[in-house]
Amino acid sequence: MKKDFLSIADLNRKEIKYLLEQARRTKEEGTTSLLSGRTLALLFEKPSLRTRVSFEMAMHQLGGHSIYLSPDEVGLGRRESGADIGRVLSRYVHGIAARTFSQETLRTLAKHSSVPVINALSDLEHPCQALADLLTIYEKKGKLSGLTLAFIGDGNNVANSLLLSACLVGMNFHPACPPGYEIKEATLNQGKKWAARSGSEILLTNDPHEAAKHADVIYTDVWVSMGQEAEARKRRDAFSGYQVDSKLLSLAKRDVLFMHPLPAHRGEEISAGLLDDPRSVVFDQAENRLHMQKALLMKLLSSGEVSGK
């Protein structure tokens, strides 16, 4: 792997397979002292439940430590530049997991940091979530290649990472997004290149019913993400026909999985009882954030020392 993990594009198919296998092993074996004496900085511009706790617990269960740095403490890009923060933290810690508003902030941190930088969420991608999702699907289905994942809703950071990861491992990807909210062209073009090699099919549509037909997995996310509150009314109007409910699931295969990265807004992108539906694996996804991040941290932080550069 590259030093940093900013995008699914930083991985190849072989590396994804390795991380999946490692995550399954760590899930079975539990704690280890592999990262004893190592420290991960959690540099967050946005609040978090799953991302923060799963990274903190991952470091703890691997024998290491984590330091949480809140927006008010650091003032990333306001009080101090990302370049300077990257240089300083490299002198103290062995890795940085950054949750930022902008992908460009991550690139700046990585450019000026001599220790690995991990994308813990940005406006462009949520790659740690996508890896945990692949782990969940593999556990439930026993394979990835040849399956069909339908994504219903906003062509957002989660959708971007899912598209790229699906195309790398040979999964078909069927996104149904409202006009104007589709996956961006640059990400789509990258996915198409990988799909041509892996045999994945990308079906672009504005119709949720078309995307859901014969799907093995149906996935959705919130309509209004952090930082989009001013657009809430406009977005709810645009997405009003994109709610995932039992009727939509009935168009998919009988053993379809329902997935959501959480937090969920019941009555908006999902019907009221969908998280408790037998087909829902949402809380398995949430747990697998821990196991996949342990695998990622073991790969990125298990060798070398703080550089002091």
Categorize the per-residue pLDDT at 72 as very low, low, confident or very high, splitting at 50, 70 and 90.
confident
Residue 306 reports pLDDT greater than 80: no
Give the right CATH number for 129-286 from 3.40.50.1370, 3.40.50.720, 3.40.50.300, 1.20.1440.230.
3.40.50.1370
- Residue 303: what pLDDT? 62
Supply the pLDDT for residue 217: 98
Task: Assess whether pLDDT exceeds 60 at residue 307.
Answer: no
Cα 110 from Cα 130, distance rounded (Å): 21
Domain ranges of the chain: 8-125+289-301, 129-286
Q: List pLDDT tens digits, range 6-34.
A: 999 999 999 999 999 999 999 999 889 99
- Per-residue 3-state assignment (H helix, E strand, C coil) for 166-218: HHHHCCEEEEECCCCCCCCHHHHHHHHHHHHHHCCCECCECCHHHHHCCCCEE
- Answer whether 106's CB lies under 8 Å from 127's CB: no
Residue 305 pLDDT: 37
Give yes or no for residue 309 having a pLDDT over 70: no
Q: What is the residue-averaged pLDDT of the chain? A: 95
What CATH number has the domain spanning 8-125+289-301? 3.40.50.1370
pLDDT of residue 2: 74
Question: Residue type for 71, please?
Answer: P
Q: Which residue has 């549509």 as its token pair? A: 205
pLDDT reported for residue 229: 82
pLDDT in tens, 241-277: 999 999 999 999 999 999 999 999 999 999 999 999 9
Instruction: Look at 227 and 38; give whichever has higher pLDDT.
Output: 38
Q: What is the pLDDT of residue 225?
A: 82
> 8-125+289-301 and 129-286: same fold?
yes
Quick: pLDDT tens for 121-176.
Answer: 999 999 999 999 999 999 999 999 999 999 999 999 999 999 999 999 999 999 99
What are the pLDDT digits (tens) for 91-101? 999 999 999 99
Instruction: Give the C-alpha separation, 27 to 31, whole Å.
Output: 9
Rounded percentage of the chain residues whose pLDDT exceeds 90: 90
User: Model-level pTM greater than 0.85?
Assistant: yes
> Given this model, what pLDDT does residue 308 score?
33
What's the confidence (pLDDT) of residue 78?
84
Which of 101, 196, 216 lies closest to 149, judged by CA? 216
| pLDDT in the model for residue 56 | 98
Q: Pick from 23, 246, 251: which is nearest to 138 by CA?
A: 23
Task: Please tell me the predicted confidence (pLDDT) of residue 304.
Answer: 40
